[in-house]
Structure 1
């Protein structure tokens, strides 16, 4: 069983994660710890804890890939309705927390007791005026587990995996609770935090991002999660992407200890290029994205080249073509480079703009088979 480590965001590598699980890989997802938007934002602001949204989303993807479809997974995938008043939303939450939901009723007592304990721990911590609307039940359970285990997110993830029957690992690259991501644009202005970068205006996006910074509220540097360092050390292949380049993927390199660990691990390191441009990469090529990775890699202690392989989607059009709002990401890469460039048709035939998980997985496993020494099986 090959050990694959994926540095990614929450959803962009979903099809790849699922395909790797179904093809027998032992997958570890490394997800951001600096998410400042989405439905988990209110939890982070209320409790001052690490954002759990990307963690929960990756765990649910892992569950899907491993064929876990039990009642616990169904509960963790549920959300509170959006178009409700505050009191009605709270009552919907209590439908779960007070054991009224039929899925809870038919669970094994130990599982049910653990879930109810975590939901009620969460409810006690956030107070009576918390806005539950559009909140993820899985986020509430995972946060409750974190609170019940003295704020230890790694223990909370371990417990959550056991509740759902998940074998694969999902870890935030840092367990620091107060991380803030900022971007300096090429005109010198700063955009902060993460969700402001992701949703910046199109004029700002076209100016482009010059550099990133990831820091703690008190000015300290972020430190790597020990579970992440262990996963890197044991990896047969490490992949970066796909995902939001400047907010979900590159910032992992800004966490102290990650660059050194990746450089010391003797295995292939692969960049999985996006299919489309996004708000963060308007007007860029995959070669520009590679340069952005290289900048942060060198600034944080990397000496050798980061990537041994680049997976680039072959763009079949001699003109600019869009899917929705964004054009395809052309690669602009040279075949004469210090990495192996693999150009192929990596786009899903049924979901334009998305990766074909099976095609990417086939390439990754082929790289592992060709590149890893016999001692790393």
Structure 2
């Protein structure tokens, strides 16, 4: 990054977690690329995936909505992308943005080019790319699904089933095991000044990026400053997991990965006296701050999170439209 330039940042994840990091990061830089999981098989995305067989558009749509500007036009487009049809017919429940993306893909057979076209339409403040050029499935080993046999391992398949299970996820795999990474995503990672992983559903939005061999290798090899953003609390998928356990899962799934910074909310960090030491095992400094919303929801405050990212990135600041 040359003097005076804004940092080039790649953010990886999916769903609401990636939306939170993107909403914060676009306050810091206009050189932003989102690399999005493509394993969603529930709701509107699942229905479109079953009908057309292509990439699920839902998490990609959410990333585009998060990159819409905070001016009137940007907020209107974000609202349109996220709105859903309400009817008695087959369109009921479909997200408008999902159908827009799917329609563009039908007209333009290149999904990356199609996402770029939609991004231009909604004036997205960054680029959205799929993690893989093929739709993926998540398979998980889960304990505790039967009261009589709490230690029996069951195999669940599908992002929706894994994300909503009441059992304890022990490990996840991708199907196929060696999917092709999106070439443009690999290029973005290679050129990045900063790579941001998390927050989000740990097993279905964060870890899958590290299970795509080409993508994981690019992240590990990149000289970029690597930031891991922890959730503000343990979620449904990782209920009862300490902050340190979240980091251990990163290490277990990407043994060669070294981090530079781990960002944690002060309330969640306070529950784990070993957190700083765990971060150090991966080479990372722990940054603790108040980054949670104060409305009793388990969400990040985008402006507080943006302030932390800006400080970590050396005070990078843009004259960006708020």
TM-score by length of 2: 0.85
Question: Do the aligned residues in 2 keep the contact of 1:287 with 1:331 (CA within 8 Å)?
Answer: no
CA drift at 1:162:
1.6
**Aligned residues between the structures:** 300
1:211 to 158, 161, 171: 171
Aligned to 1:112: none
Aligned to 2:306: 361
Give the whole-Å Cα distance in 2 for the aligned partners of 1:317 and 1:274: 10
Give SS of 1:280's match. Answer: coil
Q: Which runs of 5+ in 1 are unaligned?
A: 87-130, 319-328, 372-377
Cα-to-partner distance string for 1:54-84 (whole Å, 9 max, x where unaligned): 1011101101457643876554343211xx3
Cα-to-partner distance string for 1:12-44 (whole Å, 9 max, x where unaligned): 243432232233342211111110112211111
Cα separation, partners in 2 of 1:285 and 1:74, compared to 1, 3 Å: closer
Cα separation, partners in 2 of 1:176 and 1:15, compared to 1, 3 Å: closer
- Summarize the alignment of residues 333-348 of structure 1 with structure 2, pairs less than 5 Å apart: 333-335=275-277, 337=280, 338-348=283-293
Aligned to 2:148: none
Give SS of 2:100's match. Answer: helix
Give SS of 1:22's match. Answer: coil
CA drift at 1:236:
1.2
Question: Do the aligned residues in 1 keep the contact of 2:18 with 2:198 (CA within 8 Å)?
Answer: yes
Give SS of 1:17's match. Answer: helix
Give the whole-Å Cα distance in 1 for the aligned partners of 2:294 and 2:36: 27
RMSD: 2.4
Question: Do the aligned residues in 2 keep the contact of 1:273 with 1:313 (CA within 8 Å)?
Answer: yes
Aligned to 1:236: 193
Cα separation, partners in 2 of 1:290 and 1:198, compared to 1, 3 Å: same
- Summarize the alignment of residues 1-377 of structure 1 with structure 2, pairs less than 5 Å apart: 1-65=6-70, 68-69=73-74, 75-81=80-86, 84-86=87-89, 131-150=90-109, 152-177=110-135, 179-185=136-142, 187-201=152-166, 204=167, 208-216=168-176, 221-298=178-255, 302=256, 305-315=257-267, 330=272, 332-335=274-277, 337=280, 338-350=283-295, 352-369=297-314
Cα separation, partners in 2 of 1:4 and 1:316, compared to 1, 3 Å: closer
Give the whole-Å Cα distance in 2 for the aligned partners of 1:341 and 1:195: 32
Cα separation, partners in 2 of 1:77 and 1:345, compared to 1, 3 Å: closer
Give SS of 1:40's match. Answer: helix
Question: Do the aligned residues in 1 keep the contact of 2:30 with 2:125 (CA within 8 Å)?
Answer: no
Give the whole-Å Cα distance in 2 for the aligned partners of 1:166 and 1:316: 32
Question: Do the aligned residues in 2 keep the contact of 1:245 with 1:289 (CA within 8 Å)?
Answer: yes
The structure that has the greater radius of gyration is 1
Give SS of 2:286's match. Answer: strand
Cα separation, partners in 2 of 1:142 and 1:2, compared to 1, 3 Å: same
Give the whole-Å Cα distance in 2 for the aligned partners of 1:370 and 1:165: 26
CA drift at 1:135:
0.9
Cα-to-partner distance string for 1:283-306 (whole Å, 9 max, x where unaligned): 1101111111111102xxx2xx43
Q: Which runs of 5+ in 2 are unaligned?
A: 1-5, 144-151, 317-322
Give the whole-Å Cα distance in 2 for the aligned partners of 1:317 and 1:193: 31
